[in-house]
Amino acid sequence: MGREGLVLKLIVGLTHLQKVNLKKREMAGIEFEIGSKEVQMVEMPKNPNFKEAIEDLVLKMPIVKFIGMRFTKIELGFVEIVIPYREELSFAKGFFQAGPVGMLMDIAACSAIGTRLPSGWAFSTIDFTTKIVAPASGEAFIARGHAVSSGKSVSVGKAEVFAISNGIETLCATGLVTTRNFEQRD
């Protein structure tokens, strides 16, 4: 049984042994909701203001400003970002070049990782790989990033990039990102 299983068993055991009517308990940053038949784990953010923090960090980047990126969804461990098609980022009319597709994947995966960092922390990509699976042709592009593993100094994220054409999303790339996490200094 893993550490999480032991913690979960301990909390449920203590609740029943002490006959305390607890609805919520928190241990190691994970909130446990105790019901009559089941126990649900809800991850607690290390930074309660993670949405504002990730927007502040990412939207200040000059490259992000240049490509016209915006967040459409920010949740703990997940982000969704959109950019419009830009002729300056294409290799032929109507087609994004692979570099901007990889950059979009990188930003989405890193941003998802960033939602799990403590207040005052940031990230920097140390490795990423992008696999192009279809032409990046559309009027806009959407990337969905997920935090896969969140460590104190190194984290891993994944993202998928979709081309949007006439309201239809087509997967055009997928990839993995590894970040070095660090405390920001003024």
Reduce the DSSP state of residue 183 to 3 states and report it. strand
Amino acid found at 171: L
Give the per-residue pLDDT at 107. Answer: 97
Question: pTM value?
Answer: 0.77
User: In this predicted model, what pLDDT tens digit does every residue of 79-125 receive, in sequence order?
Assistant: 999 999 999 989 888 899 999 999 999 999 999 999 999 999 999 99
Q: How confident is the model at residue 13 (pLDDT cuts 50, 70, 90)?
A: very low
Distance CA 135, CA 129 (A): 17
Give the per-residue pLDDT at 32. Answer: 55
User: In this predicted model, what pLDDT tens digit does every residue of 42-75 receive, in sequence order?
Assistant: 678 888 899 999 999 999 999 999 999 999 999 9
Give the per-residue pLDDT at 51. Answer: 95
Contacts of 166 (CB under 8 A, 6+ apart): none
The CA distances from residue 143 to 16, 34, 114, 178, in Å, are: 45, 36, 15, 17
Distance CA 39, CA 37 (A): 7
Q: What is the DSSP string of 75-133?
A: ETTEEEEEEE--GGGEEETTEE-HHHHHHHHHHHHHHHHHTTSPTTEEEEEEEEEEEE-
Range(s) of the chain covered by CATH 3.10.129.10:
50-183
Given 3.40.50.970, 3.10.129.10, 3.40.1180.10, 3.40.50.460, which CATH number is that of 50-183? 3.10.129.10
